[in-house]
Amino acid sequence: MNALSGHLGGPDFMPSAKTPRQLAHAEPMAREAIDLGEAVEPEPWAGWRPCMPDMLPVVGAVPEKPGLWCNFGHGHQGFTLGPTSARLLSELVHGRAQDKVSQALSPGRYL
């Protein structure tokens, strides 16, 4: 298992194909809810959703690498967890967070 991608297998792994049918269904509903404006990209694309083997993001300082901080591995919950992780990272950078949550998400758990 690749600890950074959570992928079991070799280099032949490819991201999912684009799903124009799903986008065509979702876009009109999204436009009803919010003002999406014009498309930024001429064509839809699929990105990676990296996650860790324990399904928890990596947030915090890298041990023995002063100044190197991490905030990744949210998988499909990046939009939801991003603001909370950013706040935790800010607290850690300023030395204000040393609790069980920050320990559980620490990059040190894989080193």
Give tens-digit pLDDT for 80-94: 999 999 999 999 999
Look at the chain and report how many structural domains it folds into: 1
Length of the chain: 111
pLDDT band at 12 (very low <50, low <70, confident <90, very high): low
Q: Is residue 100 part of a domain?
A: yes
How far apart CA 35 and CA 50 sit, in angstroms, is: 29
- Does residue 14 lie in a domain region? no
pLDDT band at residue 26 under the 50/70/90 scheme: confident
- Domain membership flag for residue 41: no
* pLDDT at res. 9: 47
Q: Domain containing 100: what range?
A: 58-110
Q: Is the pLDDT of residue 14 over 60?
A: no
As a whole number, mean pLDDT of residues 10-30 equals 72
Is residue 9 in some structural domain?
A: no
Is 84 contained in some domain? yes
Asked if residue 57 lies in contact with residue 106, where contact means CB atoms within 8 angstroms, the answer is no
**Which residue bears the tokens 């949210």?**
74
Q: How confident is the model at residue 4 (pLDDT cuts 50, 70, 90)?
A: low
**CA-to-CA distance for 67 and 105, rounded, in angstroms?**
17
Q: 31 in a domain, yes or no? A: no
The reply to whether 29 falls in a domain is no
Average pLDDT, the chain: 84
Is a pLDDT exceeding 50 seen at residue 59? yes
Note whether residue 104 is domain-resident.
yes
Quick check: 18 pLDDT over 90?
no
